[in-house]
Amino acid sequence: MQTMGWVQWLTWGTGVLVFAVVIGLVIRGVLRAARRAPEQPSAAARLAREANLPPAVQAQLAALNQRKDNGEISETEYEQQRAALLRAY
């Protein structure tokens, strides 16, 4: 039986190191993906909670906010429709 020379040891060590790095990166990716982004507090949601609005009005405000976030309505249209919703309540 022959002993391994320095080239074989270097090749073997490099392979093991690369394998360990790949496994470590996979584990790191899985852990990062498992973490959810923290929920960003919304001033509109806080105001709605403090105003004790009925759930139906809160749902309408949330839908309106979603439409604004999606770019379906402008900021001024959002403000006008939000004010109309709150006046109607």
Q: What is the pLDDT of residue 14?
A: 97
Determine contact, residues 4/12, Cβ cutoff 8 Å.
Answer: yes
Per-residue pLDDT tens, the chain, 89 aa: give them: 678 889 999 999 999 999 999 999 999 999 988 887 666 677 766 766 677 778 888 889 889 989 998 999 999 999 899 889 888 87
Domain that holds residue 28: 1-36
Question: Which of 79, 84, 39, 80 lies closest to 57, judged by CA?
Answer: 84
Q: What is the pLDDT of residue 2?
A: 77
Q: What is the pLDDT of residue 17?
A: 98
The whole-angstrom separation of Cα 39 and Cα 12 is: 46
Both 74 and 57 in a single domain? yes
Instruction: Quote the tokens at residue 64.
Output: 């309106």
Q: What is the pLDDT of residue 4?
A: 82
Both 54 and 27 in a single domain? no
Determine contact, residues 68/81, Cβ cutoff 8 Å.
Answer: no
Both 22 and 47 in a single domain? no
